[in-house]
């Protein structure tokens, strides 16, 4: 087993800490804060995942990027190091969730397991729970890191995503976990763009650097549009239709379903706003109005 898969398996196999399993969770169950056994059985893994990403951030922040930032001409090297560490974690998270999600989507078992609307809404298996757990762990970490180093729209994105995947841990709509995580397909191009701009772009830009930027930016806009807008709006329509078909099932959660649809709608609108911004920057660049 390669180190990448070993890390995933290791995090999934860690037992819950005693204070969580014997004190915090029983207290939350007793006071009706949580009732789902699936959530109780897996929340510790999401917490471990959040800590794992924080360790990656600290390693990047204190070891990997300080010497690289020192080679640049930027005056605010501390800010560059912090932002570089955030993007470094994004690279790792994207690789993990895309591997888990694509493996799931390409699995015949996955499509057979969730063939009916009720199964897509209420069904769960080991693979979909692993995806939900890793996604929740990242977005828990993302709330903290966005509040410290990013802007308000990214905080909204992190909070909404955390709420959606918390509901998904019940389990609920786990079929759609890997479906909506296809949004992450645009992240590699976004991170490449950012690192090239911060570490390779300057007064002595080479022709190769400019071509890398151009090709990557075209790929970013294309994949962003297809994965986050075309795929995203299509899948939220599918999810809404599945909710409608199972609305009379006693397991149906009207409030949770409304929160999920509203949260996904907010994310889809944010994606349209961000794509519009990309287009405006691209037009300015073509016209020579922006570097």
pLDDT of 189 higher than 60: yes
pLDDT of 288 higher than 70: no
Q: What is the mean pLDDT of residues 123-139?
A: 92
Q: What is the mean pLDDT of residues 142-169?
A: 88
Q: Which tokens go with 114? A: 């969730």
Per residue in 48-80, pLDDT (tens digit) is 999 999 999 999 999 999 999 988 877 789 999
Q: What is the mean pLDDT of residues 207-235?
A: 90
In whole angstroms, give the CA distance from residue 98 to residue 78: 30
Q: What is the mean pLDDT of residues 122-145?
A: 93
**Which run of H or E residues covers position 142?**
helix 126-149
What pLDDT score was predicted for residue 202?
Answer: 65
Per residue in 94-116, pLDDT (tens digit) is 999 999 999 999 988 888 889 99
pLDDT of 290 higher than 60: no
Q: Where are the domains of the chain?
A: 3-286
Output phi, psi for 146, to 5 deg: -70, -35
What pLDDT score was predicted for residue 226?
Answer: 95
In whole angstroms, give the CA distance from residue 225 to residue 178: 18
Please return the burial class of 7, using the count of CB atoms within 10 Å of its CB with bins 0-12, 13-18 and 19+: middle
């Amino acid at each position: 087993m390669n180190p990448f898969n070993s890390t995933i398996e290791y995090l999934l196999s860690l037992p819950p800490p005693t204070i969580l399993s014997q004190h915090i969770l029983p207290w939350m169950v007793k006071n009706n804060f949580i009732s789902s056994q699936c959530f109780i059985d897996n929340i510790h893994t999401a917490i471990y995942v959040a800590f794992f990403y924080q360790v990656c951030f600290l390693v990047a922040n204190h070891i990997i990027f300080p010497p690289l930032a020192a080679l640049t001409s930027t005056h605010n090297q501390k800010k560059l190091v912090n932002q570089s560490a955030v993007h470094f974690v994004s690279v790792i998270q994207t690789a993990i969730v895309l591997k888990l999600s694509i493996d799931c989507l390409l699995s015949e078992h996955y499509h057979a397991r969730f063939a009916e609307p009720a199964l897509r809404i209420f069904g769960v298996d080991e693979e979909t729970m692993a995806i939900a757990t890793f996604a929740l762990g990242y977005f828990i970490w993302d709330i903290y890191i966005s509040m410290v180093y990013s802007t308000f729209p990214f905080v909204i994105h992190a909070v909404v995503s955390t709420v959606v995947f918390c509901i998904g841990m019940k389990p609920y709509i786990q079929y759609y976990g890997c479906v909506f995580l296809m949004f992450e397909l645009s992240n590699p191009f976004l991170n490449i763009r950012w690192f090239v701009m911060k570490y390779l772009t300057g007064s002595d830009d080479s022709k190769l650097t400019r071509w890398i930027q151009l090709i990557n930016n075209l790929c970013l806009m294309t994949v962003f549009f297809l994965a986050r807008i075309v795929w995203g709006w299509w899948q939220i329509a599918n999810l809404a239709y599945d909710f409608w078909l199972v609305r009379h099932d006693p397991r149906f959660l009207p409030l949770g379903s409304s929160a999920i649809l509203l949260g996904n709608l907010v994310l889809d609108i944010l994606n349209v706003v961000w794509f519009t911004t990309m287009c405006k920057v691209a037009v300015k660049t073509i016209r020579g109005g922006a570097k």
